[in-house]
Structure 1
Amino acid sequence: MNSSVFDFLLTAAPADPVSAEFAADWVRHRARSHDFASSLDRAAIAGFDSAGTGLAFLGGYQEALHALVPSLDSAELSSMCATEAAGARPSTMTTAVTADGVVSGTKSFATLGAFADRFLVIARSGTQPDGRPMLRAVLVPAGARVAVTPLPALPFAPEIPHATVTFDAAPGALLPGDGYTDFLKPFRTVEDLHVVAAVLGQLVRVARLAQWPAEPVEQLLALFAGVRGVGAEDPSSPGVHIALGGLFARLTALRAELEPLWAPVDPEVRRRWERDAPLLGVAGKVRAARLATAWRALA
């Protein structure tokens, strides 16, 4: 295998389209990307081997979780569980965890849901003197005390499964640190970077299979290089959020520039890309708020 991820994306044979057997697909992905130490490189490879944006997202999502929690078993599929019926703000969370890691409560929207081997749960562990909740992150294995209810597929990227997950005094392992500042807050940035890396890897796949000219491929790889650079920094840095805003803006512009090149692409591949385009706008308002906050912090 080439030592450079750029060489890999330019020379490796794209894998056959993956299936909905997420566990088997994850095993194949880990084997194929084993020689790459960077989770962002592995996310790009996951996208390169994906037949559509939804499956590329799942590869980026998994690599993001493993980047956030390196102790996760690389053979397992994991799911972040933060969102509840009232949202994902710390002040509205009701799911609770005891001092010995027992979790009770319901998370209303968990990506991968029923296919996850382990859940990264953000739960309330108490109340601070000022009334704000104390949050912890806890790893809970799928099991008898975890009930998973699949949710209907979304109109875009329907391959991505989501579910409601209820923990009934489910035993777990507490992770060190604060559940919000050390896990939930940075994950939003880490996930954005890994998903963009995966989408860029998928677009390189499309470009190569459709024999696009060299210049747009260069632009895709240049943008990926920017993602790698930002990903090497502290995700809590205001500058990182400002740079990330620029990366998303450039991705939006590049997508528009690439539109004329889609004409000769396989019709089914083009249809999936057009159907799944809204996925790239998910959490756009949250990103915009983070960007504005970052600029204020540096003013």
Structure 2
Amino acid sequence: MNSSVFDFLVSAVPGESTALDVPAALARHRAMAADFPNTLDRAAIAGFDSAGTGSAFLGGYQEALRALVPTLDPADLVSMCATETGGGRPSAIATTVSADGLVTGTKSFATLGTFATRFLVIARAGEQADGRPLLRAVLVDAGAAAVVTPLPELPFAPEIPHASVEFTAAPGELLPGDGYTEYLKPFRTVEDVHVVAAVLGQLLRVARTSGWPAEAVEQLLALFAAVRGLGAENPGSPGVHIALGGVFDRLTRLRAEQESLWDTVDPEVRSRWERDAPLLGVAGKVRAARLRAAWESLG
């Protein structure tokens, strides 16, 4: 066992690069990271173990869900179900959950929906005194979902499937707390941090297997250290959103600075990276809005 994730990332021997089989990749990631309790460490290790950005995203996404809901079974493959045809805002959520946990409604975009063993569903449980929706988070076994319909592949990370999911009085486990403030809202930040950790793990794999200079490895590892520090903080903190904005900005500049080093990378690996790099821009407008709101909240 390595005493530190940093030691692991600079000394572990990368496994063979293979095509992504979602359940197999997840099982391999978990086995490799079994001795590391920190979800961000496990996300980075998943990235280091990944043949491409799709597999890295898988590890980061699953670890983000475990950071949000630590009681999740390690063997489960979980999909967050929030987005509906009107979007992911609380006012757009029409899916309902009864007092005894029965979920009814349709989620239009569930990442990993076709492979999920459980769904983390954000559903409407009524209205608050001011008329805003009262949301709850509910865990629903995949076998209880009425219909899971695969969606077309995205142009980047096509190995990661997405689906629409329809629930009809599906029995679920109501989680404690408010579905928006304690699950949906923080998940957007928690996911960003964990996916960046996984991508940095993948880039460290590329750097080491391609013979990049020590300085390049140092810079990637230093950026991971910054990301790892954010994981210990409240994801709703304005300071965290400001720091995360700096992390994304630094990652963009670092990618540009290291562009010439990709000439030494295996052509297939490089092709996958160039195809999947737009994944880092997903939800960029939402992040920018959070960053503006964070600065405004501090006057």
TM range (shorter): over 0.9
Question: Which moves more between the two structures, 198-207 or 20-29?
Answer: 20-29
User: What does residue 2 of structure 1 align with?
Assistant: 2
Q: Secondary structure at the match of 2:211?
A: coil
The 3-state SS of whatever aligns with 1:143 is helix
1-structure distance, mates of 2:60, 2:74? 14
1:88 equivalenced with 2:71 (yes/no): no
Q: Which amino acid aligns with 2:190?
A: V
In structure 2, what is the Cα distance between the partners aligned to 1:168 and 1:235?
33
**d(CA) in 2 for partners of 1:125, 1:18:** 44
Give the Cα–Cα distance (whole angstroms) in 2 for the partners of residues 150 and 208 of structure 1. 36
Aligned mates of 2:236, 2:144 — CA distance in 1: 36
CA deviations over 1:42-70 (Å, ceiling 9, x no partner): 00000000011111011100000011001
**1:211 matched to which residue of 2?**
211
> CA 1:44 to 1:28, structure 2 compared with 1: closer, same or farther past 3 Å?
same
Number of residues of Structure 1 aligned to a counterpart in Structure 2: 299
SS at match of 1:159: coil
After the TM superposition, which residues 152-163 of structure 1 pair with which residues of structure 2 at under 5 Å, given as runs?
A: 152-163=152-163
Q: Deviations over 1:227-284 (max 9, x none)?
A: 0111110101110000000000000000001100000100010001111111100000
| Structure 1 segment 43-122 matched on structure 2, within 5 A | 43-122=43-122
* Number of the residue aligned with 1:249: 249
Root mean square deviation of aligned Cα: 0.9
Question: SS state of the match for residue 215, structure 1?
Answer: helix
- Structure 1 runs not aligned, ≥5 long: none
Give the letter for the 1:177 counterpart. G
- Conserved? CA contact 2:19–2:51, under 8 Å: no
SS in 2 for 1:114: coil
Distance change (3 Å), C-alpha of 1:145 and 1:4 = closer
Cα gap change, 1:222/1:145 in structure 2, threshold over 3 Å: closer, same or farther? closer
Q: Is the 8 A contact 2:90 2:135 kept in 1?
A: yes
Q: Which residue of 2 aligns with 1:135?
A: 135
Alignment check: 8 A CA contact 1:93 1:124 kept: yes
For the residues of structure 2 that align with 1:28 and 1:204, how far apart are their CA atoms? 18
Runs of 4+ in structure 1 displaced over 6 angstroms? none
SS at match of 1:105: strand
Q: Give the Cα–Cα distance (whole angstroms) in 1 for the partners of residues 181 and 137 of structure 2.
A: 10
Quote the Cα distance in structure 2 between the aligned partners of 1:210 and 1:26: 25
Query: Cα gap change, 1:148/1:52 in structure 2, threshold over 3 Å: closer, same or farther?
Result: same
Return the TM-score normalized by structure 2.
0.98
Say if 1:145 and 1:279 are closer, same or farther in 2 by CA, change over 3 A: closer
* Counterpart secondary structure, 1:229: helix
Look up the equivalent residue of 1:32 and give its one-letter code.
M
1:18 shift after superposition: 4.5
C-alpha distance in structure 2 between counterparts of 1:67 and 1:6, whole Å: 20
User: Mean Cα displacement is larger for which, 199-208 or 12-21?
Assistant: 12-21
Which letter maps to 2:238?
Answer: P
User: Which secondary structure does the structure 1 equivalent of 2:114 belong to?
Assistant: helix
For residues 278 and 178 of structure 1, what CA distance do their matches in structure 2 show? 32
Aligned partner of 1:93: which letter? I
**Percent identity between the two aligned chains:** 74
Mean Cα displacement is larger for which, 184-193 or 15-24?
Answer: 15-24
Shift of 1:120: 0.2
Deviation for aligned residue 1:144: 4.4
- Residue aligning to 1:178: 178
Which residue is equivalent to 2:274?
274
When structure 1 is superposed on structure 2, of 72-81 and 22-31 the one drifting more is: 22-31
Match of residue 228 from structure 1:
228
Residue identity in the other structure for 1:162: H
